[in-house]
Structure 1
Amino acid sequence: MKFLRSLLKIAVVLVVLLFGLGWIYSKILTPKYSGELEIENLTEEVTVYFDEIGVPHINASNPKDAYIALGYLHAQDRLWQMELIRRIAAGRLAEVFGKDLVRVDQFFGGLGIEEAAEKTIANLDKTSESYVLSQAYLDGINQYIEEGQTPLEFTLVGLKKEKYTIKDMYNVFGYMSFSFAVAHKTDPLLTEIKEKLGADYLNELLGSFTENLTVNKTSIPKEINATISKSVSSIMDNLPVSPFIGSNSWVIGADKTKNGKVIFANDPHIAFSQPSVWYQNHIKTPDFEIYGFNIALMPFPLIGHNKEYAYGLTMLANDDLNFYVEENNPDNSLEYKTENGFEKYELRDKTIHIKNEPDTTFQVKVSRHGPIMNGLIEHIIDDRPIAMNWIYTQLPNEMLSVSHGISHSKSITDFRASVSKIHAPGLNVMYGDAKDNIAWFSSAKLYQLRDSLSSKTYLNGASGKDEIIEILPFSENPQAINPSWNYVYSANHQIDSVRGKLYPGYYQPQDRAKRIVELLDTKDDFSKEDVEAMMYDVKSATVPEIIQNLLKSVDKSDLSPSAKKAFSVLENWDGAYFKKSVAPTIYNRLLYEFLNATYKDELGGSFDLFINSQLQDQVLLTQINREQSVWWDDISTKDKIESKNDIIHQSYKNAISFLQNQLGANVEDWTWDRVISVEYEHAIGKAGGVLRTVFNVGPFETIGGNEVINNQIFKLDSTGYYKITAGPSTRRVIDFSDVENSSAVLPTGQSGRLFSEHYKDQTQKYLDGEFVKMKMNQDEIELSKNRLILKPK
């Protein structure tokens, strides 16, 4: 008995000791939010106030000191995120996660992002302010690597810290640009449809691109108030860093607001992750101020504001990536045909270092059009060499100058000059200012091919006839400045005509754009609170019409009582995705069954690529409205030609049967919250088990769905459960009648450090549609309990 008591005491001591060590370890790994630190290369002391959500408000006497401080602070909260994002474009993820990431490394390593970065860096003006401040930012990051605490993730995966260079920064630009591209998923699929199924099948899909559109209209005044005072799919799905997807933004002119000043709103849609994509920060020097949202390893914010102007972005979705079929020399596979004879492929040898495994090497052939993607893109199954021609790697890259320029503009004219330099990714850049200017710029290097040539299927690389004829001047890009309708907006939808034709792209369907216009047209006295509520809106502008058109083909006399009840629920649905709504559950299962019955028999294994693509979204309403279509016939039934009514009616019955098996016989129990959820996944939390519980945030119930303003993006599949993978990466509202009380919110929190109190402290507010103040009043900022002094060493 005495022995047992002694053993128990020892156990208690060990538990207390372990708990104590864990507590100490957690405190060591928490970012330093107060006290003093000595930093090299500062000229003067920098004071940093951390507010209630962990945003650093950096007060410096000069820009260089401010950006050294930003780099240091960004690294102490987000070093693990920086490490992952710099490794993607360089093809270095397998070094961290092992052989399962080799395919990802081969794909990104073959795109030519690193080679383009090297070429750009060699030609940079090393005396420009953008370069000097970028180096200051990198200096701050690297000082944290030398002196700061190593994040827990590095220890868990056995990874040593490495210093950062400007090449890492350009690799991030490249990754961001590629994650915006859509053609790499869609062009091979459309070419396969064209070549295997025929022109009729292809033309029905492409014909829908000019139907059911809400077009973003051009409006350029003669004068403006210009002065202000101061599967690639599977590869992308499994990345440990968020790919970019879509976005909403609208800017309401002074004449449509309650207080007579511009209100700016933006919520970029990006794959959810933990930590959140954006790092909030507020820099103030005697001559400069910006409240910015920065991507890891980017010193200048892509979205931001100050007391004079605000800016943001959405994905333009123009077609900036084309595939060319090359023709090899039959006598020498290292050469390819051009209109001027055979030319040699450039050969790039690549090595991938794999954790706990031998290195592997591969070779990429590069034609004048770009890298040969056979073997790099899994759904390119072709005996012909297919080259990827991507504007990002083909044209000069000025993105460092662009990001610096838009965050340091002195006028709308100055701002427009900066965004005119964007080549890729194509962006809708939104603008509003304290002088009552509002603007939308479609910013990309738009180009022209010869007439009648479609960029949505493979082009001929050998003939010389399918080349880009002209890069258009920015003045011809669709844009709107202070339009007569008193607002500008973007939801990744079709932009206005260029040279008399709708400019080709992979635009999202009109759903969100139509809803934004519906709401903006309802009143002329918008407040900040109205706009905040609008950002949380979950009503679809198009689904009610889709439902009514589908139900016309359902024979009610052939339905069970439960199916008739479900029919009534759908028939009376207004398109809103609330937690206790039943209609979204029925609709999304019906949609899956409809798409499966319409397309899978022809597409086979490519159906999974099609079902959740922008292409499918775009053609949906048009296809439902077609009475005659080559897609209606189920080619697996030899003795019968199915009609539209056959397909839809059977799809409806299949959907009801599935839901009864999944959720029970009572239709009223089929609520949306039973099948939808969101979880903000950490790269290590993806391993599951205890690591998932520790590092991930969630899962949670939520409201919203695909293509509503509160865009909660999920994939349709056979399971009947909808795991949200992407959505608003932040929600921001800037009201120039009270700019110091503008608001924003992140999906989880400001810090990527597990033991920080700001790891997930905004999560519930985000889920509930609430906002947090973006503080800009200096007196209020200085009341913060956490003050960190950075002193010159």
Structure 2
Amino acid sequence: MKVFRKLLWIILGIVVVLALSSAVYIYTHSPEYTGTKTMDKLNNKVQVYFDTYGIPHIYANSEEDAIRSLGYVHAQDRLWQMELLRRIGKGGLSEIFGEDMLKTDKFFLSLGIDDASSKTVEMISKNSPVVRLSQAYLDGINQYIKEGPTPIEFHLTGLEKTPFTLKDIYNTIGYMAFDFAMAHKTDPLLTNIKNKLGPDYLTDLGLNTDPNSTLIKNYKPTLRDSIKNEVAGLVSEVLEDFPVPLFEGSNSWVIAPNKTKNGKVILANDPHIGFAQPSVWYEAHVNAPTYEKYGYHLAGVPFPILGHDRKLAYGITMFENDDIDFYYVEENEDDTNSYKTPSGWKKYEVISKTIKVKGKKNVMFTYKKSDHGPILNGIADQVSDTRPIAMSWIYTKVENKILDALYGMSHAQNLSEFRESLPNVHAPGLNLMYGDAMGNVAWFATAKLYEMPDSTNTKFILEGSTGKDEPIRYLDFSENPMAINPSWNYVYSANNQPDSINGKLYPGYYLPEDRAKRIVSLLEPKDDWDREAVQEMMLDDTSMVNTEVVTNLSKSMEVEQLNDKQIAILDKLNLWDGSSQLQQVEPGIYNRWIYFILKNTFADELGTEMFGQMLDTHFHKRLIAHMAEKETSVWWDDVTTTDSVETKKERVNLSFRQAYQSLEEEFGKNPNKWTWNKLHTLEHGHPIGQIKALRSLFNVGPFPVSGTREVINNMYFKYDDTGFYPVTSGPSTRRVIDFSDIENSTSILPTGQSGNPFSEHYDDQAEMFNQGKFRKMMMNKEEIIKTQKSLLIFEPTKK
């Protein structure tokens, strides 16, 4: 017994020591939101008030000191995120995650982001306000790196902290620029369909925009050969386990005074980005005598991408324009180091890179570069086509002034100054949404657009040796789609097709009209909008298009072949209003039905791999309503059968029965139990959370969530054989800026402000986000001080 008691005390002692050690570790590795710190290069004292949700409200005597302090507090909450984002463009993920990331690193190195960043840093003026403030922000980050606790992710991966440089900011921006590009997935896929199946299969896909669909209207007032689909496969593969979120879509609308209850502008914005932990945006309210902005910052970028103050507000959605072109390159048979150009043979530029790999020797990587960009063959094993393919990307072709644009947007005092900064956005293509206290509303499609010959279809791989598929000219920014104070008293964007420019529809990878159609239908009839009504609209989960799809599909249904329960479900779908709430059964049966229709229609011709790649593009989303309307199509036939030609009716009925049977097998024979909450869930995954034992510490969720694909509350998921719909992307924030009550404007983050799992602000907004709640974006200094949760003071280092 004495031995047993002694053993018990030993075990208890070990438990206590472990508990104390864990408590000490957590305490010493949590962000510091209170106290006094000294900071190098600081000129005067800076006060940082943290509110209830850990959002810093920074007050300084100069903008440089304020931005320097922002760098420090941003780093203590998001250093790991900053580290990942700066590594993507320079091929640095293998150093953290090992050889599994080699293909990803090779791909991003070949894009030329890192080289473009080096060139930009060499060219910019070191004395410009942009560089001066960027360096102040970096000073704050690097001070935290030098003296702050090392985030747990660095310990777990064995990575050393290293200082940040100006080039890192541009590499992070380069990641964002690639994030919006859909051409990598779409152009090679469509080229392969054309070459493998023939032009008839393309005709039925409705590649060109329907001019009768919901377009974003311009308003400018007078005043005021087969490639076996390797490129698409490469992109799908390198992004499969990508450790950071990708930008996907977005909603925004700005309502003019004539349509609001209080006669002031209201701006709403919810950029759609891949869900991850930490979430994308870091909120900060920065104040100096000559500058104030409540902004949303990308990790490692000093100027907010979304922001507002008492004078104006702005937000973004993705333009989805076509800024990448692929070209076949003709190599010299006698000299594979040279290629044909319209003016003769030319030597490739050969670029060599070294990739650090965790636990392995460094990997030497070499690729060829032509006038059209890097040759993708050789970057990954699956790109083995005999014809070299080059990628031309506008981001690396023209001078990079995106940081200047962000500086200009965040420092603009009015609509005119804001507009002046926008031509500096060359890529990624963004819809900039604007509203101000003076009553102005505007939408600007910002990108370096270029005109191609009428005979050139940029949705396919082009011929690079003839010169016939080259850009004719760059458009002046004044020619870009835009609307300024339109007569209909609102502007909006839902990543849908903008109206024509000089009589032509500009090509792109636009989303279907679903969200746009719903936004317009809600905005048009109402003239007394207020903040609460706009917040409610942001949570709208009704699809007008989905109900139209059901109506069109139901016309093909053979009811006499269905049993009573199946007929009841079909009737339920036909009475459905298109909403997607947790206890509804209609969203589940609808999405199963659509998936089986897509699979039964396209997989026989495309094969499993290409069909999966199609489901990974925006392109397939536009096909659903299109094919539901189409009675005859070459795609309806099942090419695996030789004794019959299948029809739409056969495909639609088979798919409905398969959808019904799959739900019955999984959830039982009572359709009332096939509710959306069992199928549609949201988990915010952290890269380290992929390790099962660490999932509960790093990941947030999972939660059942309402919403669905291509509704305003766009909780997007991918279709696959599982029949379950874990959300992959959605609102990265919901913001409502009301100029009738600017200090009570509202927002929400999907998880929390901090990326540190030991911070109380790691996930303290997650439940609110799922429930559709909002919180105040505080701007009144007196209220901020009165309700502060903590105060952190920075003082200059004594010399």
TM-score when scaled to structure 2? Answer: 0.97
Q: CA deviation at 1:209?
A: 2.6
Query: What is the rounded CA distance, in whole Å, between the counterparts of 2:482 and 2:454 in structure 1?
Result: 24
User: Does the aligned pair in 2 maintain the 1:562–1:665 contact within 8 Å?
Assistant: no
Query: What is the rounded CA distance, in whole Å, between the counterparts of 1:44 and 1:318 in structure 2?
Result: 45
Q: CA deviation at 1:212?
A: 5.6
Alignment-mate amino acid for residue 107 of structure 1: F
1:627 is aligned, of 626, 631, 643, to: 631
- Return 417-426 or 761-770, whichever deviates more: 417-426
User: Does the aligned pair in 2 maintain the 1:449–1:468 contact within 8 Å?
Assistant: yes
Query: What is the rounded CA distance, in whole Å, between the counterparts of 2:702 and 2:399 in structure 1?
Result: 43
Alignment-mate amino acid for residue 431 of structure 2: N
Q: CA deviation at 1:620?
A: 2.1
- CA, structure 1 residues 386+602, in 2 after alignment: closer, same or farther (shift >3 Å)? same
Q: CA deviation at 1:382?
A: 2.5
Q: What are the superposed Cα offsets for residues 165-201 of structure 1, whole Å, 9 maximum, x if unpaired?
A: 1111111111100010000100000000111111111
2:536 is aligned, of 523, 533, 552, to: 533
User: Does the aligned pair in 1 maintain the 2:103–2:380 contact within 8 Å?
Assistant: no
SS for the counterpart of 2:424 is: coil
Show the 5 A alignment for 1:198-209: 198-209=198-209
Query: What is the rounded CA distance, in whole Å, between the counterparts of 2:208 and 2:457 in structure 1?
Result: 14
The equivalent of 1:318 in structure 2 is 321
Q: CA deviation at 1:632?
A: 1.0
Show the 5 A alignment for 1:68-87: 68-87=68-87
Query: What is the rounded CA distance, in whole Å, between the counterparts of 1:332 and 1:113 in structure 2?
Result: 29
Show the 5 A alignment for 1:153-192: 153-192=153-192
The equivalent of 1:510 in structure 2 is 513
1:330 is aligned, of 325, 328, 333, to: 333
1:457 is aligned, of 460, 471, 478, to: 460
User: Does the aligned pair in 1 maintain the 2:209–2:497 contact within 8 Å?
Assistant: no
Show the 5 A alignment for 1:441-452: 441-452=444-455
- Return 115-124 or 306-315, whichever deviates more: 115-124
In the alignment, structure 1 residue 666 sits paired with structure 2 residue 670? yes
Q: CA deviation at 1:12?
A: 1.6
Q: CA deviation at 1:157?
A: 1.0
Give the count of matched residue pairs.
786
Alignment-mate amino acid for residue 199 of structure 1: P
In the alignment, structure 1 residue 647 sits paired with structure 2 residue 651? yes
Show the 5 A alignment for 1:575-594: 575-594=578-597
The equivalent of 1:248 in structure 2 is 251
Show the 5 A alignment for 1:402-481: 402-481=405-484
The equivalent of 1:233 in structure 2 is 236
Query: What is the rounded CA distance, in whole Å, between the counterparts of 1:537 and 1:550 in structure 2?
Result: 24
Query: What is the rounded CA distance, in whole Å, between the counterparts of 1:650 and 1:180 in structure 2?
Result: 36
Alignment-mate amino acid for residue 400 of structure 1: L
Query: What is the rounded CA distance, in whole Å, between the counterparts of 1:549 and 1:299 in structure 2?
Result: 50
Q: CA deviation at 1:364?
A: 1.2
Alignment-mate amino acid for residue 9 of structure 1: W
Show the 5 A alignment for 1:242-641: 242-376=245-379, 382-604=385-607, 605-641=609-645
Query: What is the rounded CA distance, in whole Å, between the counterparts of 1:4 and 1:656 in structure 2?
Result: 60
SS for the counterpart of 1:335 is: strand
SS for the counterpart of 2:205 is: helix
The equivalent of 1:149 in structure 2 is 149
Query: What is the rounded CA distance, in whole Å, between the counterparts of 1:510 and 1:378 in structure 2?
Result: 38
Q: What are the superposed Cα offsets for residues 233-256 of structure 1, whole Å, 9 maximum, x if unpaired?
A: 342242111111110000011111
SS for the counterpart of 2:142 is: helix
The equivalent of 2:210 in structure 1 is 210
SS for the counterpart of 1:347 is: strand
- Return 673-682 or 369-378, whichever deviates more: 369-378
Alignment-mate amino acid for residue 266 of structure 1: N
The equivalent of 1:195 in structure 2 is 195
The equivalent of 2:105 in structure 1 is 105
The equivalent of 2:131 in structure 1 is 131
Query: What is the rounded CA distance, in whole Å, between the counterparts of 1:489 and 1:237 in structure 2?
Result: 32
In the alignment, structure 1 residue 778 sits paired with structure 2 residue 781? yes
The equivalent of 1:25 in structure 2 is 25
User: Does the aligned pair in 2 maintain the 1:565–1:667 contact within 8 Å?
Assistant: no
Superposed structure 1 runs of 4+ greater than 3 Å apart: 375-381
Q: CA deviation at 1:210?
A: 2.3
Alignment-mate amino acid for residue 43 of structure 1: N
Identity across aligned pairs (percent)?
51
Query: What is the rounded CA distance, in whole Å, between the counterparts of 1:785 and 1:758 in structure 2?
Result: 12
Query: What is the rounded CA distance, in whole Å, between the counterparts of 1:487 and 1:723 in structure 2?
Result: 34
SS for the counterpart of 2:726 is: strand
In the alignment, structure 1 residue 715 sits paired with structure 2 residue 718? yes
SS for the counterpart of 1:260 is: coil
User: Does the aligned pair in 2 maintain the 1:236–1:243 contact within 8 Å?
Assistant: no
Q: CA deviation at 1:67?
A: 1.0
Q: CA deviation at 1:223?
A: 2.4
Alignment-mate amino acid for residue 482 of structure 1: N
Give RMSD over aligned pairs: 1.1
**Gaps in structure 2 of 5+ consecutive residues:** 225-232
- Return 368-377 or 54-63, whichever deviates more: 368-377
Query: What is the rounded CA distance, in whole Å, between the counterparts of 2:749 and 2:576 in structure 1?
Result: 31
Query: What is the rounded CA distance, in whole Å, between the counterparts of 2:421 and 2:84 in structure 1?
Result: 29
Query: What is the rounded CA distance, in whole Å, between the counterparts of 2:558 and 2:501 in structure 1?
Result: 45
The equivalent of 1:228 in structure 2 is none
User: Does the aligned pair in 1 maintain the 2:315–2:434 contact within 8 Å?
Assistant: yes
SS for the counterpart of 1:734 is: strand
Alignment-mate amino acid for residue 155 of structure 2: T
Alignment-mate amino acid for residue 320 of structure 1: D
Alignment-mate amino acid for residue 379 of structure 2: L
Query: What is the rounded CA distance, in whole Å, between the counterparts of 2:381 and 2:663 in structure 1?
Result: 34
SS for the counterpart of 2:41 is: coil
Query: What is the rounded CA distance, in whole Å, between the counterparts of 2:596 and 2:131 in structure 1?
Result: 53
Query: What is the rounded CA distance, in whole Å, between the counterparts of 2:633 and 2:385 in structure 1?
Result: 28
Q: What are the superposed Cα offsets for residues 251-279 of structure 1, whole Å, 9 maximum, x if unpaired?
A: 01111111110001100000001011000
Q: What are the superposed Cα offsets for residues 726-766 of structure 1, whole Å, 9 maximum, x if unpaired?
A: 10000100000000011110000000111111000000000
User: Does the aligned pair in 2 maintain the 1:188–1:379 contact within 8 Å?
Assistant: no
User: Does the aligned pair in 2 maintain the 1:422–1:445 contact within 8 Å?
Assistant: yes
- CA, structure 1 residues 339+671, in 2 after alignment: closer, same or farther (shift >3 Å)? same
Q: What are the superposed Cα offsets for residues 611-652 of structure 1, whole Å, 9 maximum, x if unpaired?
A: 242111112222221222111111000110111111111111
SS for the counterpart of 1:502 is: coil
The equivalent of 1:227 in structure 2 is none
Alignment-mate amino acid for residue 48 of structure 1: V
User: Does the aligned pair in 1 maintain the 2:37–2:794 contact within 8 Å?
Assistant: yes
Query: What is the rounded CA distance, in whole Å, between the counterparts of 1:375 and 1:676 in structure 2?
Result: 39
- Return 312-321 or 199-208, whichever deviates more: 199-208
Q: CA deviation at 1:410?
A: 1.6
In the alignment, structure 1 residue 676 sits paired with structure 2 residue 659? no
The equivalent of 2:230 in structure 1 is none
- CA, structure 1 residues 378+632, in 2 after alignment: closer, same or farther (shift >3 Å)? farther
Query: What is the rounded CA distance, in whole Å, between the counterparts of 1:12 and 1:669 in structure 2?
Result: 47
Query: What is the rounded CA distance, in whole Å, between the counterparts of 2:369 and 2:263 in structure 1?
Result: 56
User: Does the aligned pair in 1 maintain the 2:367–2:378 contact within 8 Å?
Assistant: no
In the alignment, structure 1 residue 694 sits paired with structure 2 residue 697? yes
Alignment-mate amino acid for residue 680 of structure 1: H
The equivalent of 2:228 in structure 1 is none
